[in-house]
A and B are shown apart, each in its own frame.
Chain A
């Protein structure tokens, strides 16, 4: 028992230490961000890689989730004779929860892992040390554009997920189940509050973007400079990224009611 507690204590200690280093890393990114040059070109490249290249997977997933929501929502609502509220149910669940959370999970798997692997490989091949020797801070040149691209892409991808999701719900509710199109849309329109739901959704996905951006760059930057090290770091990004998105989701919802 005592040994168990001691082991647990050591583990918690290491976690706190790691959080401290992550905070330091975050501070470093903020510091270099406030320094010129702006690195627009690198930033745009990264937005392309994390954002644009994720459009297809996000669009298809959004559509599929929206259709499932339409189907499940309809079969539940019809029992209470409330199928006219399907628009509200589909819209609200997508905007408040499904959109930001599922987008964050998908983006962690697709773009977060890629960021970690790329930075880790650059470290293993001494490209980061090469930058240092050219008097260029790798956190400035490599990390900063990737982290910010994640922060910016996440809300945009989440919006895409929500829009395609609502379209999917509409197809199932209106075209398949025969709900009146006007009824579906007005139920959606009346239920969604801009300040509470839409702004909250955007804030959520910006927080998730920050979280995933930080975790994926940090894991790559601190990866052991070997093939196995890079592989472990990539796995860890997906696991820690996904779990912390889910945990943060609970706390944001509980604290801010989004």
Chain B
């Protein structure tokens, strides 16, 4: 039998294009301290620290974990870094939870971050591969043809992407930590924004953000009656290229979702709300189908089901479309799912949320990580 895992503390920085007020150690410490305060524990109560961030080239500091041990109170304690591209924030939380469920540690601090302002991720993601034509053009350059393939496959109308772009920014207006605040966002505004990677428009993309997210996980609820409990975790991967690969709805994503639901002993219909990793608006309908939350993702969007007041709210926090410190973006999804089942999401709370899904993906849709968290201790 594995040990139940409680999320007793959640800390996030505010997200912004540039956090010039903080160094990288200061940034991670801000999130970590908030998580400890929320959990009501001190640095000395932590047994181990598990970190995650996106590839080092994204902020130009190689192996930054080596100089963060002090800032995170990890001196003399076990500390490890997880490394799964954009999905890393999610995978890091999963690894941290396993160190408790397996009985190795009793209480863990997990942190993920990115200080995008310290380098240029668009540049880092546009490096020419050896022996190859100059086709690299950031993440959007990679995902735009796949989005076009989804639109063709499902006959989805163009306005679906605009609807997600509007909905997530409306949600962000209810989240004081969110980076993008566009109170006058509208379908017209999204439609009129410049075309970057056709068919992706400027307002359908995520920003570049600085920020960090942290959680304290424990084998006990530590006296917190509102702790969130981990009901299921899963990670899956697949190669970036193989004959017959479904890039629109990767098998690894489907398998990851199936594993998570099975471990939680639920079906997708039991999920009250979800935070999905959506860096480009079209990935909301695409992932809704991939993780089994909707048969037709775009129809769910079109019918308003994924809005905060709908029956399947998605990205209540404003999502990656509103805040994107890449390495932290996955963990923010996981932490926001936990906030929902704790009833602590403030103005973007879904009434009565009992089971929530956190989701992240990375690389060329090669890595997937998910968790399902609930308000009740798993039986």
Chain A complexes with chain B: no
Chain A interface residues (CB < 8 Å from chain B)? none
